[in-house]
Amino acid sequence: MKKFIVVLVLSVCMTVLAACGGANSSDDRSVEKAPSTETAGAKTSQSDKANENEKIEITDATGQKITFEEAPTSIATLSSGDLDMLLSLDANVVGRPSSQGVPAAELKDIQEIGNPHQPNFEKIAEVHPEVLIASPSFKQHAANLEAQGTKVVYTQANSVEDILQTIEMFGTMLGKSDESQKVIAGLNEQLDALAGAEGESGVKTLLVYGAPGSYLVALPNSLSGDLLERAGGENIASDFPQEEKYPQYASLSTEKIIERNPEAVMLITHRDPEAVKTAFEGEMEKNPAWKNLDAVKNGKVTVLPSHLFGTNPGTKIADALQVMNDSLKEAKSK
């Protein structure tokens, strides 16, 4: 009997120990089990994908795709219009185009770096921006800057749409898409309110761009041509052949202009508008036929503001359309 009891107790103990040992083994496997190669690979892939999603990619005006690991923190530009758009998005601008007069207070602490025609490479190197905003004509100089770690982003302003697309691109580049969309929405609201205002439709207009002694005619695919069309004016040079180097402009054909007899002549220049107007009037005096144009006889030869038409006006594009509306309205008046 005693033998039987001892055997029974031993049997029960062994059963309990076996059960406990089995539970521990199961727990250990649960904790120590390594992920399979397939699972680990999936996690790595997802991580890489997440990192890729954080990168910023833009396409500039030349079709060039540019990737940023993160939003750039220092930007320079050679265009006053691009400067205006960047500042509207609170970008950190370290270099700006050189100004002719006294700069606005908020621009005084930003280094001048030249202009699109005469960039100051020494000053650009001094501020060493992560990004330089420039026109496509700057491409010949880009390699040296890019070798020093500056990415060059190209913009153009041949239409209102170009300017709105640039604002959107800047918003993407800076990680401020929401802010850029608000700026665009505000501009579209102003532009829609100004487009084709009553009383300006059908004014036959000649847009002349240039400097004393050198004139071109602005075509519909130029910014001023686009603004003229939006305001309801008629560009008498719409079918003039494009200049090879400047496809938004055509040579000034006196014969065609006299034949089409514009009601308004609008002059566009970078600077010194009065000198341009005086010189252009001198050109017209050389050819007596000019005097018979309706625009000349009625005193409808005007100079458009250079900061709105002689260069990219940036977020002031609605102001430019307002000026165009007013100029056409004035041409209609007797």
- 144 and 258, same domain (yes or no): no
- For residue 114, give the DSSP letter: B
Greater confidence (245 vs 180) lies with: 180
- 292 and 185, same domain (yes or no): no
Average pLDDT of the segment spanning 301-320: 94
Residue 319 tokens read as 């102001």
Would you say residue 292 lies in a domain?
yes
Would you say residue 13 lies in a domain?
no
In whole angstroms, give the CA distance from residue 223 to residue 268: 11
Would you say residue 235 lies in a domain?
yes
pLDDT at 10: 36
pTM equals: 0.80
CATH number, domain with residue 155? 3.40.50.1980
pLDDT at 102: 64
Model confidence at 47: pLDDT above 90: no
- 225 and 108, same domain (yes or no): no
Would you say residue 324 lies in a domain?
yes
Number of domains forming the structure of the chain: 2
Model confidence at 15: pLDDT above 70: no
- 126 and 79, same domain (yes or no): yes
pLDDT at 228: 96
Would you say residue 260 lies in a domain?
yes
- 267 and 323, same domain (yes or no): yes
Greater confidence (229 vs 42) lies with: 229
Structural domain range at position 225: 198-332
Model confidence at 21: pLDDT above 50: no
Neighbours of 193 (CB within 10 A): 11
- 172 and 139, same domain (yes or no): yes
pLDDT-derived band at 49 (thresholds 50, 70, 90) equals very low
- 325 and 216, same domain (yes or no): yes
Would you say residue 323 lies in a domain?
yes
- 214 and 169, same domain (yes or no): no
Domain boundary among 144, 177, 193: 193
- 187 and 222, same domain (yes or no): no
- 177 and 211, same domain (yes or no): no
Neighbours of 227 (CB within 10 A): 29
- 229 and 159, same domain (yes or no): no
Beta carbons within 8 Å of 69's beta carbon, 6+ residues apart: 54, 55, 56
Portion of the chain with pLDDT greater than 70, in percent:
80
Of the candidates 163, 145, 1, the residue with the CA atom closest to the CA atom of residue 80: 163
Domain boundary among 166, 193, 220: 193
pLDDT-derived band at 212 (thresholds 50, 70, 90) equals low
Residue 295 tokens read as 């625009």
Q: Reduce the DSSP state of residue 265 to 3 states and report it.
A: strand
pLDDT at 197: 57
- 138 and 220, same domain (yes or no): no
Average pLDDT of the segment spanning 197-222: 82
Domain boundary among 193, 212, 227: 193
pLDDT-derived band at 54 (thresholds 50, 70, 90) equals confident
Would you say residue 18 lies in a domain?
no
Would you say residue 123 lies in a domain?
yes
Average pLDDT of the segment spanning 294-314: 92
Average pLDDT of the segment spanning 27-42: 39
Task: Give the chain's length.
Answer: 334
Greater confidence (29 vs 275) lies with: 275
pLDDT at 285: 75
pLDDT digits (tens, 9 = 90+) for 257-274: 999 999 999 999 877 777
Model confidence at 105: pLDDT above 90: no
pLDDT digits (tens, 9 = 90+) for 127-184: 999 999 999 999 999 999 999 999 999 999 999 999 999 999 999 999 999 999 999 9
| Dihedral angle, C-alpha 103, 104, 108, 114, nearest 10 ° | -40
